[in-house]
Structure 1
Amino acid sequence: MDSARTSTAAHSTKVVGLVIGALLVALAAVMLVPVLAEIVARSDDWEAFLSSAVVTGFVGGALMLANQTDERDLTHRATFLVTTFGWLSVAAFSALPFAFSRLDMNYTDAFFEAMSGVTTTGGTVMIGLDRAPPGILLWRSLLQWIGGIGIIVTAVAILPFLRVGGMQLFRTESTDKTEKVLPRPGQIAVAIGEVYLLLTLLCALAYIVGGMTPFDAMNHAMTTVATAGFSTHDASFGYFENSFIHWTGTIFMISGAVPLALYVQTLRGSNEKIWNDPQVRGFISLLAGVSVLLALWLAARGDYGFFEALTHTAFNVTSIVTTAGFTSDDYQLWGPFAVMVFFILMFVGGCTGSTAGGMKIFRLQILAILFKTQVRQTLYPHVAQTMRYGERTVSREIVFSVALFVFVYLASMLVVAMALAAFGLDFTTALSSAVTSIANVGPGLGPIVGPAGNFATLPDGPKLIMAFAMLLGRLELLTVLVMFSKDYWER
């Protein structure tokens, strides 16, 4: 029995090493794209990307050669390992171009920037983006674009299997329904990738029509559809004083925060309509309601006319809820009411199976259904109550999983906030940094990490804590935390 377990463990380790090695080899190939950008722009930072690609490719190739195996099936426990260490390894090696470039970033800052990129968080430590090398700007956008499609694959293919935070509710959404149109999982992944690429190209084209340069348009398109938040300018979308560009960003942030599998079903002739999904209806209704409310608030204050206010509120509300993290204005200047609204919106997130982070709309809907059911059960104690989400019955297991996730989500934020406060960060900075990291939002609140600031002035300790929090939130908490349990490693 012990020898069989040892053999299984060795096999799992080889598969994990093989997968991570393949990821690093692919990452090394992507690093060559900024090399071309640097050469075309006649910049001298191409050596940083080439040397990073050589190091990354060598390590990845060595891992693949050292872990060759005929059996390549992942065990349940190994899936947690490959998911967590896969994302961690990609972030660690993605930091090399930042560290090797003429920006002279230390590795902690480089790792923070890379982790923020691949987790599509959007918080940055870089200052002077308007003067940064084109290869670095392109690399930041590529990281977020890759991270966006990566989290969709993780959410659709891995998290339901791991039964994390109620995600098993969407196993039918991501497999059964889609497989009626596309029979094999590989085809589903390719179809989702095609939709993702198409949305990015359409977004870039719209930005060019709105007046962006092709370079700005392509960079912002990648980070908009990925609901990620990196910009090529320190002022983010405030740099573009153009309502057409702001509304384009709003529309494509929403498109990235909707489950991409729904696009595939619609394009392949399925009878399922995107608006029929309860997540999408709740998501759009929330954005519309809060945007109009804040626009009326700003118009009443006399800050803007109603339609100008609606442009700003729609963009910034959508950016926070979808966890994109772009800003078109410093909403902290809109008054305490607006600041409180934005703080609450940091917790929400987009739809599952999308590029958005956060708690996810469906979990809040499940909690609302639970509350409504409990009220009815209290009024009619002898009548059996059934919880339904759309056309699906919600089991007690899913309700328990969602409730547990929300508890761990909020508890993790408090723990991270206390850890940041231990380094001397003030209350607002520590709490909003914890929330924005785990929710993968990007900007926090306050004069330091708010929409008009960034994370550059924070000490290395808080940056590393926040980088871990970004990974924690992006992988739905329990995927990472389970590996800190004794039971995971016991056998």
Structure 2
Amino acid sequence: ILFLRHWIATLGVEDTSDWRLALRALWGAVFTVLSFLSTTGFESADWQEARDWSGLGTPGLILLGLSLVGGGVATTAGGVKLLRVYALYLHARRETERLVHPSSVGRATGVGRRIRRQGAYIAWIFFMLFAMSLTFVTALLALAGQGFDAALILAISGLSTTGPLILTASDTPIRLLELSDGAKMIYAMAMVLGRLETLALIALLNPSIWRD
């Protein structure tokens, strides 16, 4: 989608026949999207050239969304994690099928049913915890003097452990040196919280699980 956005913007430009620029723009889009989806946040040099080629900037909202849902379950990424998103997708697809055919029987295997049921339940709990954490951190950064856009970008950057978001998600890069001491402390705590697995932390503090 990002590649097509830049390609359509160049339809009125004379050098649209240069396929080398198109291929470099495609590679830049693929690399950048996968980078933010893995919460690494590296931006391809070819992607910057694609932006200069079309004259369009990268929509920061797309990069924020990629960082939110990205990350692998076996990594230290701070996003919702792709496997949880997949579990929610399977559950939503099954519920949609039941709306059309209420008496239908799911055809998934035992592992598939577990992901679709227990996995979706745990994923939804984590998603709600992540949303609450995002709201709380954004509110604290706003109280520390940051505007709404800057506070939201800082909160998502810290909780998803995608540091480069503060430079690429907004038109004006956010400089950490220019933040107040309170905002820096909040951002640091958000990064630590993003590194932790919230469900594991709750389980550690839940006495009922100790007895089990």
Class of the TM-score when normalised by the shorter of the 2 chains: 0.7 to 0.9
Cross-structure match for 2:6: 298
Gap regions ≥5 residues in structure 1: 1-292
Normalised to the residue count of structure 2, the TM-score between the two structures is 0.75
Partner of 2:43: 327
Q: Are 1:310 and 2:32 counterparts? A: no
Q: Closer, same or farther in 2 for the Cα pair 1:349/1:307, shift >3 Å?
A: same
Give a deviation string over 1:124-143, Cα, whole Å, max 9, x none: xxxxxxxxxxxxxxxxxxxx
What CA distance in whole angstroms lies between the structure 2 residues aligned with 1:485 and 1:457?
40
Aligned partner of 1:440 among 156, 161, 167: 161
Cα pair 2:84 2:119 within 8 Å, conserved: no
Q: CA deviation at 1:471?
A: 1.9
Question: Kindly tell me: are residues 392 and 297 of structure 1, through their superposed partners in 2, closer, same or farther at Cα, counting changes over 3 Å?
Answer: same
Alpha-carbon distance in structure 2 between the residues aligned to 1:481 and 1:424:
31
C-alpha distance after superposition, 1:32-83 (max 9, x if no partner): xxxxxxxxxxxxxxxxxxxxxxxxxxxxxxxxxxxxxxxxxxxxxxxxxxxx
1:378: Cα distance to partner? 1.9
Distance 1:467 1:486 in 2: 29
- How far apart in 2 are the matches of 1:429 and 1:388? 45
- Per the alignment, residue 464 of structure 1 pairs with 185
1:373, 1:387 within 8 Å by CA — same for their partners in 2?
no
8 Å CA contact retained: 2:77, 2:195:
no
Q: Percent identity?
A: 26
Distance in 2 of aligned mates of 1:380 and 1:357: 37
The AA in structure 1 aligned to 2:24 is E
Q: Distance in 1 between matches of 2:157 and 2:207?
A: 29
Aligned CA distance change for structure 1 residues 403 and 326 (closer, same or farther; 3 Å): same
Structure with the bigger RCO (C-alpha within 8 Å, sep 6+) is 2
Equivalent positions of 1:18-167 (< 5 A) are none
Following the alignment from structure 1 to structure 2, what is the Cα–Cα distance between the partners of residues 319 and 447? 20
* Code of the aligned partner of 2:37: V
Residues 155 and 187, structure 2, Cα contact 8 Å, conserved in 1: yes
What secondary structure, in the 3-state scheme, does the structure 1 residue paired with 2:68 have? coil
Larger radius of gyration: 1
**Contact 2:77–2:160 (Cα < 8 Å) also in 1:** no
Q: Is the 8 A contact 2:155 2:190 kept in 1?
A: yes
Q: Is structure 2 residue 67 aligned with structure 1 residue 346?
A: yes
Instruction: Single out whichever of 297-306 and 461-470 deviates more from structure 2.
Output: 297-306
Tell me if the contact between 1:377 and 1:385 (Cα under 8 Å) persists in the aligned partners: no
Which residue of 1 is the match for residue 150 of structure 2?
429
Q: Does 1:409 align with 2:130?
A: yes
State the shift of 1:343 in Å.
2.2
Distance 1:487 1:419 in 2: 32
Shift in Å, 1:385: 3.2
**RMSD of aligned alpha carbons:** 3.1
Displacement of 1:383 in angstroms is: 3.2
Question: Cα 1:484–1:394, aligned 2, differ >3 Å: closer, same or farther?
Answer: closer
Alignment correspondent of 1:393: 113
Task: List alignment gaps of at least 5 residues for structure 2.
Answer: none
Match of 1:257 in 2: none
Q: Matched residues in 2 for 1:476 and 1:334: separation? A: 37
> What code does the residue aligned with 1:297 have?
R
- Distance in 1, matches of 2:187 and 2:107, equals 40
3-state SS in 2 of match to 1:347: helix
CA displacement, residues 227-270 of structure 1 (integer Å, 9 cap, x when unaligned): xxxxxxxxxxxxxxxxxxxxxxxxxxxxxxxxxxxxxxxxxxxx
- One-letter amino acid matched to 1:374: E
2:92 match: 371
Q: CA deviation at 1:404?
A: 0.5
Q: Distance in 1 between matches of 2:125 and 2:198?
A: 11
CA distance in 2, matches of 1:386, 1:461: 53
